[in-house]
Structure formats: C-alpha cells, structure tokens
Chain A
Amino acid sequence: MNVIETKNLTKFYGKTRGIKNLNLTVKEGEFFGFIGPNGAGKSTAIRTLMGLIAPTSGEASVLGLPLGQCREYLRDVGYLPSEAAFYNDMKVRELISYSAKLRGVDCSSEADRLCSCLELDTSKRIDSLSLGNRKKVGIVCAMQHRPKLYIMDEPTSGLDPLMQKEFFRLLRQRQQEGATVFFSSHVLSEVQHNCTRAAIIREGSIVAEGSIDELSGTSAKRVVLHGVKEIPAGIDGRSVVSGDDSVSFLYQGDIKLLLRELSSLPVKDVNISDPELEEIFMHYYQQEGR
C-alpha cells in the first residue's frame, strides 16, 4: 500500500515556485528520506501533504485518503514542523498534555517514556528551553500517540549527536512496529544511515527516487586517477577535484569510452568506486549549471 502518493503535485505562491509536478511514492513501512537544500520545496511538499497548503494543481493521497480528507488522516499522522510555534507561557508537560487532549487520547505513559528517552525536563516552561529542547517537545508531541505515519520536517536540526542517535533509534523502533517514516533533511549522512529509500528534490521537482543502494549505485561513478592532474579531454566529468598528482571526478557514461581515454594517458593508478549519497546529491545539483 502506498502511504503517500503524489501525482504532478504543484504549488505556486503567486508567481513563486513552491513545488512543480512532484511525483512521489512512499510505501507502507518505509523509512523514507526527502533530501534537498534550502528552498528546494521540501517544506512546501510536506505542508501540502498535511493539508496546510492548498495545492495549485495535481493530486495527492495520504494513508489512502485524498488531501481533501486530511482531517481524517491527520489522526494517524505524527507531524513535526521545521519550526514549531509553541505557547511560551506553558510548561512542557502542559503542552504535551494539551497536544494529546486535542487528539482525544490519553498517551501520558508513552509521553513519559519518550521524555525519559530524550532527557526532557517536563517541569520547565517552553520559553526557557533551548532550540534542541524545543525540538524534543515537538518530537514527543508528534510521537506520543503512536501514529501510523510520521511526517517530519528536518527533525534533527538543533539536536545534539547523541540525541539524534536516540531519536533515530525511536523512529526505527516505530518503523519495525509497522509505522511509516517520511522525513526531510539536508544532512545526507543521516538519510544514508537510516533510510530504506530516498528522493532528491531540486527546484520543486523530484530528480531521483529509489532505495539508498540504488541511488548510491546510480550509473555515476567516482573516478580517481593518479599520475595526472586533469581529466581527459574527451571525458565529461563533474565534481572535479584536482590534487598534486591526482584528479578525481564523477563520471556518468560509457565505461569503455572512459577506459579508452585513460589508456592514452600516463596514469599510474585508477580507482573507480560507487560514490557516497552526498556525491550523488551534488551530482544532481551540479547539473544544469548549479
């Protein structure tokens, strides 16, 4: 079952592009990463799925229900916005309880467990919390009712590395219990380490989607040549990095052509490997002049 599905989903703010013909599929039980730099359209896509923005055109469904019925599926969604606006005059436990009451459920024991895992002091007032602790409050509010789907917009920003680890542990636990996780990030390593699948968004559209292995093993290869400082003239390489006695570049094309070109150069050593997700990401972003 597709938990999230969008078909040509488009959102323009007047003449400003938010997302354009976004086609995305997230299957049940997946841990899905949504990667893109600032302004690529990640938050717009997420806010549209949450029913917080009306799309300009296109279709989308969440948990099998169309966007028009978002009030129904929101019961089963745990949402963490990138910048949550909380009530500064409330205490942490009051806010968590308020969030639960608005969902009409009693999840105090789960809230206590999550607060304990995330080392969150519930007696403090919201306005006295640091950015990281505010983020933890948002995480507890989004997870305490044990939803079927987690939609999280840059959830780890502000969290220290230990808490990031704990947060992903909690999410993986939920995923193993059958929940689906969809989160946006521009930290590629966390997507690579935690996700089963990912999509790369560029200027409002998906430019690559697949499993992490598929994305990493895309036809692009990282080529490192020792003994030369420049890439061969007939080779179209990207992300070129020149060293004292070496050159490294991403190559996407006929491997025979590459080998033929290399044979005519004074190459001492060659290393061809699958690039890191980060390199793939950069590869897509450097296309079309970026």
Chain B
Amino acid sequence: MLKTLLKKQMMELGAFLYQSGKEGKRRSKTSTVMYALLMVYSIVMVGWIFWLAADALCEPLVSADLGWLYFAMFGISGTVVGVIGSIFTTYSGLYRAKDNELLLAMPVPPSKLLFSRMTVIYLMSLIFTAVTTLPAAMVYFRTTGSAASLAAGLPVAAMIALIALSLSCILGWLIGLVSVRIKGRGKNAIIIILTLAFLGGYYYGYSKISTYLQLLIAGGQQIAGTIKKVLYPMYQMGKASEGSFLSLLIFALMSAGFFAIIYTLVSRSFMKIALTKTAPPKSRYKGKNMKKASVMKALLRKESMRFTGSSVYMLNCGLGTVMLIVTGAAVVIKSESLLALAQLAEGMLPAGTSALPLIGAAVVGFIASMNDISAPSVSLEGSSIWVVQSAPVSSWQILKSKILFHCIVSVPPALICSACIISVIKPVAADGILMMLFSAAVVFLYAVMGLAANLKMPNLKWSNETVVIKQSFSVLISLFGGWAVIIVLSVIYFVLGNIVRPVVYLACATAAIFAAAAGITLWIRKKGTEIFRFL
C-alpha cells in the first residue's frame, strides 16, 4: 500500500518535467530536455551563490580550527533554505490535497498517507538543502583535501533536510490548526501574517549577515562556544561534516528523533485537519435594492475574491506588493546609508549626470516583478472555466479584468515605493515623473506578459492550485522575464550610457516598455481572446 502511495506521489512530483500541463500528454523530448536544463540552471545558480560564500568563509574558519562552525553555519542556512523552499507546499500538500477524502474513504491508514505526502516534501527540502550544503562540502574538500568530509556531504544534507521537513511540518500544522478554528478570509489573513512574520524574520536575519560575519571573525571562539551550547545538534552536524562518524551517528539520531516527535504530533491531528471542511455561516437574507454594477466591476470582484480567497496565491504572486511598501519605508528610514550605497553604485555606471533615478527605477522594477498575479490567472479558472466562457461577456473583458486586477494590486505600491525613493534622492522634476511613469509601465508589462504566457501555456487540469501558482511555466516566465527586462535595460545603459543622458534613457526605456506592453496587449486582444474562448 505504501509503495503504491509513494509511486503515485513520485509520479505527481516528476510529472511537470515530462507532462504538458495543458493537455496532460507527454512533452516532446526537446521540451523535457529544456525543462530539465532550466531546473539544472536554477540549481547551479543558487549553488554558485553558496559556493562564493563558502569560498570566503572556509579558509579563515579552518585556520582558526573552527571547521565544524563553518559547516554548522551552512547547515543552518541549508535548514532555512529547505524550510523556505518547502513551506508553501507543506500545508497545501499535506492538508489540502484534493484526493485526501478519496484516499481516506478507503482503508488507507492515515499514517501511511501522511508518510507518502511527507516523503515528497522531504525530497523537495533535500534539493534545497543540498544546494546549500554540498557547495560548502566541496569548498572544504578543495581547501583541506579531506575525503571523509566530502563523503559525509550527502548523508549530512539528508539529515538537515529531515530537520527542515520537521520545521516545515510544524508551520504547516500550525497553519492547519488555525484554518480549522478560523473560517473564511480571516483565516487567510492569519496565514499570511504568520508566513510574512516568518519571512520577515528570515530577511531581517539575512540583512544582518554581514554584521554577524564581522562578529564571527572578531570573536569566533566565543561564538563557537555559544553555538556549541545553544545549538548542540548543529555542533554535531559540523563535526559530522568534517568527517567524524560518531558525530554523524549522533546527528542522525537527533534529527531522526526530532522528526519522529513532529511526525507523531502531526499524525495525531492529520485526519481532523485534512478532512475539516468549514461550512460558511448561515446568513439570513435581508432584502435590499439591487445595485447595478458594470461588467468590469463584477469581473474585478471575481478576480479579487479569487486572490484574497487563497493564501497560497497571495503569498506567491502578491508578495511584491508588501515588498514594495517595505522597501519604500526602508528607503526613507535608512535614507543616508542607502543613498551612500546608491552613490557607490552610481560610480560604477557610465559617467554623466546623476543616474540615481535609473537605479531607483531599476529597484522598483525588480521588486515589482515579484508580483505575478496575472501569470496563473487563466489556469486558476481550472475546470470551472466554462463559467466565464459561457457568461454574456466578451473574452477580452475577462482578460482585461485580469490585467487590470494585477495593475490595481501592483501599481499603487510601485508608485509608493517610487515616491519614497524620489523623496530621498530628490531628482529633478522630469526624472521624478519619469520614475513614476516607469513604475507604472513596468507593472503593466509584467501584467500582460504573465497573462500572455499563461494563455500560451495554460493548465486547467490541476488537482492542487499550488501546481499552477508555483510550478507553472507561465509563472516562471513572468518572474524571470521581469528580471530579464531590468537586466537587459541595465546592460543597454552600460553600453549607451556615455552617449545618452540618464533622463533621456529613462524616457526611452519607459516608452519602450509601454510600447512592448501595448504590443502584447494587442496580441492578447486579437489572438489571446481566441485562445481563451477555446480552452
């Protein structure tokens, strides 16, 4: 039974690689290879970042006889990355899977079902963890030549992934408990607050990393002593990574024990949380006059209900809204140090008049790309797409509402962030206006780009909305496409910066983005509507 469950879970995990989301049929070999290469590229890029960090830390810590601390630090990072990487899947994968009821109505022991679901999350955690810890092990091997540490790399990563899984399950379980007790949109608000608090804490810690590194170099032995006391498992993990078999055994027992406790805790309430369906409270009908609303208002309301009704959608596709506002506030609060940093960056740009507005616009553009609300919006219609398709509204009105909703959620925070940056860098009026226009243009481009990608690559046959929100190609294109736009514009400025004034360049870039967005909008109106009608 467990084998059957695991096989099905593994097939679902790997399906996105070889199966077309639109038709559910096998992809072509070229498409599969392209997908695989994209995955490998992403993993290598993240691994490379950790390689650089490991390269900087390994030598000094090994010299100070703190090799274990070096591994402990990467172990902690690996745990955090593993948790972040699997956190969103944990709640939806464990408790909100559509086949929970189907399977639990059969004589399938809940413990086996839970175990099979956890195995998938574990594998995801393992990938994220290994990307962090394996580069550290390789750098250590290059520095010290210790083959034992290299051999310990994978087992240690496996144990760290188990800890990450356990932590991820705790959060998923807490979210599950909240969702059982609180109903409706209040539940989503609490889930978002919990997750944002977690992410906020993570980013705060990450922003302080240079301070911690300085402290580490200044008082390495003292910190090592503290970690040894407070985070004893990580001490053992560090020693295990250095090649100590005894420490590997102790660390394995500790992580397995921790997982066993969490598994017991989660399995006790699994049935209750997984099968709780909260019925909306009965409300007494109150007669009141009907209000006439426009079609667009009704469609926007539908998009809004869809967005606010799913914490997974909000967190994955609307995080940019929060980040833009937080960045704007941070820019104002830390204006002096950020201005100094920006001026330093400005020095690297081609000479000319102030390029700070360009940097500011690029920052807004980069963060705004975290909002990819439109990218899964067609797929999210799922098997109910016929409802809007058969409604007495045109396909263009439906698609326009998706673009408009993305802009409504993303343009105001982008403008707020731009305004905050403007208040600090104090550019001339023309630059300020262009920065605001650029922010609006770039959000508009992301909205239409995401929607166009989704129209070309829709997936209406999902059983878990997380699949289309997190793992769809359209979301990937929207996110990386946004970054690519900013990177391309930056590279062009590096090339043309000496002959074009920043203000002129910003005006041209804004115009180009508007033109590109208008072009894609035209495509959506002409071709996209046809595609949508026959999905």
- Asked whether B4 lies within 8 Å of A52 as measured between CB atoms, the reply is no
The segment from B137-145, B274-282, B471-479 that touches chain A is: B274-282
- Per a CB cutoff under 8 Å, which of B8, B24, B275 touches A53? B275
A85 CA / B278 CA spacing, docked (Å): 18
- Asked whether B279 lies within 8 Å of A88 as measured between CB atoms, the reply is no
CB of A16 within 8 A of chain B? Answer: yes
Q: Contacts A14-B183, A85-B98; is A98 near B4 (CB within 8 Å)? A: yes
- Asked whether B19 lies within 8 Å of A89 as measured between CB atoms, the reply is yes
Residues of B contacting A53 with CB < 8 Å? 275
CB of A229 within 8 A of chain B? Answer: no
Residues of A contacting B19 with CB < 8 Å? 89
- Asked whether A71 lies within 8 Å of B107 as measured between CB atoms, the reply is yes
**In the complex, chain A residues 69-100 whose Cβ is within 8 Å of any chain B Cβ:** 71-72, 74-75, 79, 81, 84-89, 98-99
Identify the closest chain B residue to A17 (Cβ).
B282
Q: Contacts A13-B278, A54-B272, A87-B463; is A102 near B24 (CB within 8 Å)? A: no
Question: Which interface class (under 10, 10 to 19, 20 to 34, 35 or more) fits A?
Answer: 20 to 34
Residues of B contacting A125 with CB < 8 Å? 24
CB of A130 to closest CB in B, whole Å: 13
- Asked whether A102 lies within 8 Å of B101 as measured between CB atoms, the reply is no
CB of A289 within 8 A of chain B? Answer: no
CB of B1 within 8 A of chain A? Answer: yes
Q: Contacts A85-B101, A88-B461, A102-B1; is A52 near B275 (CB within 8 Å)? A: yes
- Per a CB cutoff under 8 Å, which of A14, A81, A127 touches B105? A81
A8 CA / B8 CA spacing, docked (Å): 40
A71 CA / B15 CA spacing, docked (Å): 31
Residues of B contacting A16 with CB < 8 Å? 279-282
The 0/1 profile, CB within 8 Å of B marked 1, for residues 41-79 of chain A is 000000000111110000000000000000110110001
Residues of B contacting A52 with CB < 8 Å? 101, 104-105, 275
- Asked whether B105 lies within 8 Å of A86 as measured between CB atoms, the reply is no
Q: Contacts A13-B279, A86-B102, A127-B24; is A75 near B1 (CB within 8 Å)? A: no
Interface SS of chain B:
loop
- Per a CB cutoff under 8 Å, which of B4, B99, B110 touches A85? B99
CB of B246 within 8 A of chain A? Answer: no
CB of A104 within 8 A of chain B? Answer: yes
CB of A103 within 8 A of chain B? Answer: yes
A101 CA / B272 CA spacing, docked (Å): 25
Residues of B contacting A72 with CB < 8 Å? 107
Residues of A contacting B463 with CB < 8 Å? 85, 87-88
CB of B306 to closest CB in A, whole Å: 20
Residues of B contacting A13 with CB < 8 Å? 277-279
- Asked whether B101 lies within 8 Å of A127 as measured between CB atoms, the reply is no
- Per a CB cutoff under 8 Å, which of B8, B101, B278 touches A14? B278
Residues of A contacting B277 with CB < 8 Å? 13
A98 CA / B108 CA spacing, docked (Å): 12
A54 CA / B107 CA spacing, docked (Å): 17
CB of A290 within 8 A of chain B? Answer: no
Identify the closest chain B residue to A128 (Cβ).
B24
CB of B57 within 8 A of chain A? Answer: no
Identify the closest chain A residue to B272 (Cβ).
A54
The 0/1 profile, CB within 8 Å of A marked 1, for residues 107-120 of chain B is 11110000000000
A74 CA / B106 CA spacing, docked (Å): 6
CB of B5 within 8 A of chain A? Answer: yes
- Asked whether B4 lies within 8 Å of A71 as measured between CB atoms, the reply is no
- Asked whether B103 lies within 8 Å of A102 as measured between CB atoms, the reply is yes
Residues of A contacting B1 with CB < 8 Å? 101-102, 104
CB of A15 within 8 A of chain B? Answer: yes
A175 CA / B449 CA spacing, docked (Å): 59
Question: Which interface class (under 10, 10 to 19, 20 to 34, 35 or more) fits B?
Answer: 20 to 34
- Asked whether A81 lies within 8 Å of B101 as measured between CB atoms, the reply is yes
Identify the closest chain A residue to B275 (Cβ).
A52
Residues of B contacting A103 with CB < 8 Å? 106-107
Residues of A contacting B104 with CB < 8 Å? 51-52
- Asked whether B4 lies within 8 Å of A79 as measured between CB atoms, the reply is no
- Asked whether B5 lies within 8 Å of A89 as measured between CB atoms, the reply is no
Identify the closest chain A residue to B103 (Cβ).
A102
- Asked whether A102 lies within 8 Å of B5 as measured between CB atoms, the reply is yes
A75 CA / B463 CA spacing, docked (Å): 26
Residues of B contacting A51 with CB < 8 Å? 104-105
CB of A35 to closest CB in B, whole Å: 22
A104 CA / B108 CA spacing, docked (Å): 10
Residues of B contacting A87 with CB < 8 Å? 8, 99, 463
Residues of B contacting A54 with CB < 8 Å? 272
Residues of B contacting A18 with CB < 8 Å? 279
Residues of B contacting A75 with CB < 8 Å? 107
**In the complex, chain A residues 102-130 whose Cβ is within 8 Å of any chain B Cβ:** 102-104, 125, 127
- Per a CB cutoff under 8 Å, which of A84, A88, A101, A127 touches B102? A84
CB of A122 to closest CB in B, whole Å: 17
CB of A149 to closest CB in B, whole Å: 13
A270 CA / B278 CA spacing, docked (Å): 52
Q: Contacts A85-B102, A89-B19; is A102 near B4 (CB within 8 Å)? A: yes
Residues of B contacting A86 with CB < 8 Å? 102
Identify the closest chain A residue to B280 (Cβ).
A16
Residues of B contacting A99 with CB < 8 Å? 106
Residues of A contacting B280 with CB < 8 Å? 16
The 0/1 profile, CB within 8 Å of A marked 1, for residues 265-309 of chain B is 000000010010111111000000000000000000000000000
- Asked whether A102 lies within 8 Å of B108 as measured between CB atoms, the reply is yes
A89 CA / B461 CA spacing, docked (Å): 8
Residues of B contacting A15 with CB < 8 Å? 281-282
A74 CA / B463 CA spacing, docked (Å): 25
Identify the closest chain A residue to B5 (Cβ).
A102
Identify the closest chain A residue to B8 (Cβ).
A98
Residues of A contacting B281 with CB < 8 Å? 14-16
**In the complex, chain A residues 1-46 whose Cβ is within 8 Å of any chain B Cβ:** 13-16, 18
A169 CA / B278 CA spacing, docked (Å): 37
Residues of A contacting B108 with CB < 8 Å? 102
Q: Which of A13, A75, A127 has the most chain B CB atoms inside 10 A of its CB?
A: A13
- Asked whether B461 lies within 8 Å of A71 as measured between CB atoms, the reply is no
Identify the closest chain B residue to A76 (Cβ).
B107
**In the complex, chain B residues 459-490 whose Cβ is within 8 Å of any chain A Cβ:** 461, 463
CB of A13 to closest CB in B, whole Å: 4
- Asked whether A74 lies within 8 Å of B282 as measured between CB atoms, the reply is no
A101 CA / B105 CA spacing, docked (Å): 14
Q: List 17 contacting pairs A-B, 8 Å CB cutoff, sorted by A.
A: A13-B278, A14-B279, A14-B281, A16-B279, A16-B280, A52-B275, A84-B102, A85-B102, A87-B99, A88-B463, A89-B15, A89-B19, A98-B4, A101-B4, A102-B108, A104-B107, A127-B24
Identify the B interface with A (CB < 8 A): 1, 4-5, 8, 15, 19, 24, 98-99, 101-110, 183, 272, 275, 277-282, 461, 463
> Given A13-B278, A85-B98, A103-B107, 8 other A-B contacts at CB below 8 A?
A13-B279, A15-B281, A18-B279, A52-B104, A87-B8, A88-B461, A99-B106, A102-B5
